[in-house]
Structure 1
């Protein structure tokens, strides 16, 4: 169930980010949103098939561009931080919770690092460090970008924009700055789609192996020339495209969040149970903050995930 949901979340997330890419592309060239999003998914699937080496190099190049774009936005808005009403909540506590649920989408990718463990040197040590460092560094950027964005542009105007970072750059630095940030946002969203497709296809490949059999073993086949799990890659790209057809970025992001929250409930619940059933069994990484056999980290993750999941489900009632 966890494997199925993670594949679902990966596909839906890739579709949502592809729609965001189409939104930023619209600031340069007017065109239909859905075909652009689908085209990006197809192109990223082809790059994924070509090999992990190419994907990793593109990821590194695009990540440098992403950080540069965020730094520009932060720089433009740095003088407005003192004017931002940090504790203002126009929609009260429900609005804060809804904001947290939507922002949760920005944290979907960190767990995907695990899915390329077989293609990582010393994964037991490297992968946990990579996840913790990535979350810490990225959260600082998120906060600074948020402060700059609402300091430069009214929050209601931001919420109605298909390319909010370009809007912030235009308001603070003119059309040239908006074009630069918009171009960087295109590389950022394209990079994210590629990462999601790579990690999700590797997950499909992993759980399709004969020792797991969560998925049909045919998806564990590796291409003789490219040495990539081509059928898992094709499946991931194929199930991503229909979600891009939904067109509504908020709706697609909500589906991804809901699915991942269920996964987080399962995983944190499993960790709580394992700490009691097999307290002496340890892998390469041990979750911190344990009192006796109770993992405080897992309990906090379970409760917060359940809370956001209840909020999401209640929004349809």
Structure 2
């Protein structure tokens, strides 16, 4: 009898929790939503989030405020959201930085386990292998051949020792058999400028940061570290086409604190996809080398699988940098 009563109590509690979640979703949203962006305004994470939020608030009929909580490589903002009430009113703009930071520093949260993933906002931008346009090198094959023949000749600027451009350079050296040396700068913008002024020979830079310099004749784009060529530069091949297995690009997604009711997550995913597929969103993103995935592929489940796989892949890249790998939160 006691077992039966306990069993019935457990069932009742589960039903109550389910009903509460659905009730919250039925009444959601009824006030302002805050999206925490862990990087400064105007950056590669902030821009797509800000545009998506402006369109999304029109769709759902409630204000959406962007709050830039910066610092500690984005971990301050992430930690804030991880501790927030899981009611759908505090959301988080996650990115490739979240897949990287877990490998370089101890975190007070887990970028997957402490969040409920809602979906992608954009995929990209890809990294572009660029060199000083005054160099005689015209193709990726020429660069590899010359770098192999002259192992100490080339230096590439990076955005820092725990950055995607540095990890990409190390991956390139590993698969191409080159020994290009890294020189660390304070961000990918500064690194691209150094190449454009002939202070250093090359860099892996983001499309959105390097495009104006390439189009202006200051940088020469040799290859794209993404899965396909770019409409802006149809003659620039991918590294994969050139025979190098390298596909490294950014992404921006939307998350919420863990235990956010699934009906709220599903609601946000549906409404988010509706605005992402509009020309109002896609056209300005294309200029930056970014694009939302098709709505059918942009589900919480698919984004979560992608994110877990990306964390593992970034761990492999982190090992190539030679930096100490941080213990992960258990």
**Shorter chain as normaliser: what TM range?**
under 0.3
Greater relative contact order, per chain length (Cα 8 Å cut-off, separation 6+): 1
Q: TM-score, normalised by structure 1?
A: 0.27
Q: Radius of gyration: which is bigger? A: 2
TM-score (norm 2): 0.26
